[in-house]
Amino acid sequence: MPITQRYVVTSTLIFLIIGALALLSLVGATVWLSHRAQLDAALVEGQRVLRSRAVSVREALLAAESSQRGYILTNNEIYLAPYENAKLVAQGETAQLLLDLAASERFKAMLPRLKQLVDQRIEVLDSVISEKSSRGEASAVEALSRNQGKSLMDEVQVFLSAIVLEAEDALTDRLRTQTTNILALRIGTILASIMILGVVIGVVFTLARYAREIIQARDALSEANASLERRVAARTEELMRARDRAEVLLTEVNHRVANNLSFVAALIRLQRQAMTDQAAREALDETSARIQAVAEIHKHLYSSGDVTSVAMDTYMTALLAQLEQTLTSGGFGATIRHDIEPIRIQTNAIISLGIIVTEWVTNAFKYAYDDKAGEVRVSARKLEDRLLVSVQDDGIGMSASAPARGTGVGSRIVTTIAKSLNADVEYVGRHPGTEARLVMSLEPG
């Protein structure tokens, strides 16, 4: 069934509305998850401090006992200094622990008993030292052998262990919650990116179908009126005007799509500045770079007049300049050097190549050099009927046995796109650095 100009405009608006809704959903989810992450971070810090104080009390009491025994058994007063310090630490941390747990319903009842036990344990330790001073070493050793404070220390251990276990359970629960939130953000980012890419593909498909149907209608009318030269000429002229209008419309839509994609990328970068969670900031940076790679294609489409293919050197030069500026403004210190041969690539393939190169260059800036200076080299050249694209760095290198850095979404995107292009991807270790290669056929699939 033929499509009309009204259908083209309506479907384009629908696609753009879907893309805007996907973006708003992603921004809303990001803001919500960021707020949750801040709350979780505060809870985790509080539980970590509680656990640390409980462990400090236990270790201080044990250190005091050890120093006391050292003094009694060796009669060396060097042990008295750490003994006194351990007592102060135990009493100070216990007092702070009582303040931190004052609002806890579970531990409120046992807090006075815990302080009493700590004080009694310290009194027992002091009494043995006093006995050595008053009655002599033999009496102190005998008192030490009776181990009078063991029951006190055992009860202190029970209270402190309960506090430590409670804090560890809370830390585990917060960690699980944060992991779930990060996973949800990653999935949401992927889905939103897929929807936005689907919007672009849908608009291009609709316009291409519209233009194709106009050309088919022109050819059919030309063949039917071949015997009527004047009517054929008049009809051909009319169809030429219609084709010109379609090309103008296609150019205008490419211009608008490029502007809209750039606007979407700018919104994502703006949202990224408001984020405090590093994983969320990196996810938004990667999404913005991918959208910008697609936007550059549409800029070339409406400026070149050829929607079937793009000059790779012109496109890649503009894309890499934009990418370098974005990464440099993000605090990374590397630079890009490129050597791109003037090869014309089909539009659908150049979009995929732009996304892959964006992923590789971004990874080189972030993981090969971190925020240090360095050089990332991008090259593309023709090998008979095949195309070789390479991204090299002189950074820290990539080990096959080491876990993947970052979210891993970029690697999956590269793998999926390479499979759609029937391309071979290879990562080669250099000394120093890494080289990422892609080899694909230049023949139409």
> Does residue 271 carry a pLDDT above 70?
no
pLDDT band at 305 (very low <50, low <70, confident <90, very high): low
> Does residue 303 carry a pLDDT above 70?
no
Comparison of pLDDT for 200 and 149, the residue scoring more? 200
Stated pTM of the model = 0.41
% of the chain exceeding 90 in pLDDT: 12
By DSSP bridging, strand 386-393 and strand 344-346 are unpaired
> Does residue 302 carry a pLDDT above 70?
no
> Does residue 281 carry a pLDDT above 70?
no
Residues 196/190, Cβ–Cβ less than 8 Å: no
Predicted pLDDT of residue 253: 46
Residue 47, token pair as written in the block: 């539980």
In eight-state DSSP terms, residue 310 is E
> Does residue 390 carry a pLDDT above 90?
yes
Predicted pLDDT of residue 246: 43
Comparing 93-102, 249-258, 396-405, the range with the smallest average pLDDT is 249-258
Predicted pLDDT of residue 309: 81
Residue 361 to residue 193: CA distance in whole angstroms: 19
> Does residue 254 carry a pLDDT above 50?
no
Predicted pLDDT of residue 434: 92
Dihedral of the CA atoms 57, 61, 67, 69 (nearest 10)?
-170
Per-residue pLDDT tens over the stretch 75-114:
787 888 888 898 888 888 888 888 888 777 777 777 788 8
Q: What is the mean pLDDT of the chain?
A: 77
Comparison of pLDDT for 229 and 267, the residue scoring more? 229
Alpha helices in 225-366 (DSSP H): 229-273, 278-304, 312-329, 347-363
Q: What values do phi and psi take at 379, rounded to 5?
A: -135, 150
The domain locations on the chain are: 1-307, 309-445
Residues 240/253, Cβ–Cβ less than 8 Å: no
Predicted pLDDT of residue 157: 81
Predicted pLDDT of residue 229: 77
Predicted pLDDT of residue 62: 84
Per-residue pLDDT tens over the stretch 313-361:
988 898 899 888 888 887 788 999 999 999 988 888 888 898 999 999 9
> Does residue 283 carry a pLDDT above 60?
no
Residue 368 to residue 334: CA distance in whole angstroms: 9
Predicted pLDDT of residue 266: 57
Predicted pLDDT of residue 386: 93
Per-residue pLDDT tens over the stretch 8-64:
778 788 878 887 887 787 788 778 777 777 777 777 777 788 888 888 888 888 888
CATH 3.30.565.10 fits 309-445, yes or no: yes
Per-residue pLDDT tens over the stretch 412-431:
889 999 999 999 999 998 88
Amino acid symbol at 252: E
Per-residue pLDDT tens over the stretch 198-252:
888 888 878 787 788 788 778 888 888 777 777 867 776 775 664 545 444 445 4
Give 340-401 as a DSSP string: E---EEEHHHHHHHHHHHHHHHHHIIIIISTTS-EEEEEEEEEETTEEEEEEEE-SS---SS
Comparing 158-172, 278-292, 315-329, the range with the smallest average pLDDT is 278-292
Comparison of pLDDT for 90 and 128, the residue scoring more? 90
Cis peptide before 2 (omega within 30 of 0): no
> Does residue 137 carry a pLDDT above 80?
no
Predicted pLDDT of residue 357: 93
Predicted pLDDT of residue 250: 44
pLDDT band at 411 (very low <50, low <70, confident <90, very high): confident
> Does residue 274 carry a pLDDT above 70?
no
> Does residue 300 carry a pLDDT above 60?
no
